[in-house]
Amino acid sequence: MKQSKDVKFIIYQVLYIFIIVVLTLKGADIDLTKMIKPDGMISITAADSLKVKIDSLLALGVKPEDILRDRHDNIASTDPLIIYKGGFGSFDANDNTGKDNIYDNTVKVATDVNKPADFQFEIQKPVQFRVNQVSVNRNSEPLYIYGDGKLLTTVQPNQGGSFILKDESTVVYKCGNAEKQTGTKENVTQTLNFQAFNAGGSEKSLREIQSTVGWRVVVSDDYYDQIDVKITGPVKWEDKGKGTFDVKLMLCGSKDEFERKFGDKDGPYRANFTVTATDKISGKKISQMKEFVFGEW
């Protein structure tokens, strides 16, 4: 009697394993009622057939877990990858107890190797007609800087640099297969401003005018460091810093010299000086003339 129960148990186990394998390989819908007699006993013919099939697979060295693994490996990459744990143990799709019969859903995500990688670089809007400084390139590859398609400079890893921008409207920074683009800022032309302190008049004497500062000149520019200033005429000037210059008239050192220059002329008398400011990169130049006026020595 015990031997009969053991045989029945083995047959049930073999039947269960075969059903799992078939479902895994084919996804078939098997009606088990067709294999069971009304009295609940399994047909000897069906059991023998199942046993032969299982023995054949085992004789070929095919293991159930290998069949499942082969099934998973051939799932299309667009399908969720189902990972079963616990071999042929029973599982419930809604069971999240953390036991061996749970399963994980993992979606295969394709990596786009052609996607541009971001790079570390602080982008500041560069200025036209200016020496623009480049912060340290903290990337592992060289940084290339282009202005309207023309290579302006190359900055090696862990180094800084600079580049001169002319009238380019677009600057592109490239590093590896990534790039960033920015527009450029216009460099406003410098201006000259004059303030009269003691520029004289028809009743003023030359000696009085020459004793004090006659004009103050201010050269205005966002980037004064690249402006070249020249003051010409019978004057001397003092650089007060930040584009500011004080100008004094130095025309005659004595009355005799004054008479030689103006003795045969009618007053009021005039002496001119000129201020010229030139942008050393753009070449833009502005120039303006001012005068001192006096009526006697």
Q: Domain holding 260: CATH number? A: 2.60.40.60
pLDDT at 60: 59
User: Is 89 among the domain residues?
Assistant: yes
Tell me, yes or no, whether 6 and 100 share the same domain: yes
pLDDT at 130: 95
Considering 145, 160, 183, which residue would you say is the last residue of a domain?
Answer: 183
Q: Do strands 269-279 and 178-183 pair parallel, antiparallel, or not at all (unpaired)? A: unpaired
pLDDT at 263: 84
Q: Which residues contact 28 (CB under 8 A, 6 or more apart)?
A: 22
Tell me, yes or no, whether 149 and 92 share the same domain: no
pLDDT at 122: 76
Domain range holding 39?
A: 2-106
For the chain, list residues with pLDDT below 70: 1-16, 18-118
Tell me, yes or no, whether 160 and 64 share the same domain: no
pLDDT at 189: 94
pLDDT at 94: 47
Task: Tell me how far apart the alpha carbons of residues 280 and 185 are, in angstroms, rounded to a whole number.
Answer: 18
pLDDT at 37: 54
User: Is 116 among the domain residues?
Assistant: no
User: Is 57 among the domain residues?
Assistant: yes
Measured CA angle at 20 (ends 17, 26), to 5 deg: 135
Task: Tell me how far apart the alpha carbons of residues 257 and 242 are, in angstroms, rounded to a whole number.
Answer: 36
Task: Tell me how far apart the alpha carbons of residues 151 and 33 are, in angstroms, rounded to a whole number.
Answer: 79
Q: Into how many domains does the chain fold?
A: 3
User: Is 117 among the domain residues?
Assistant: no
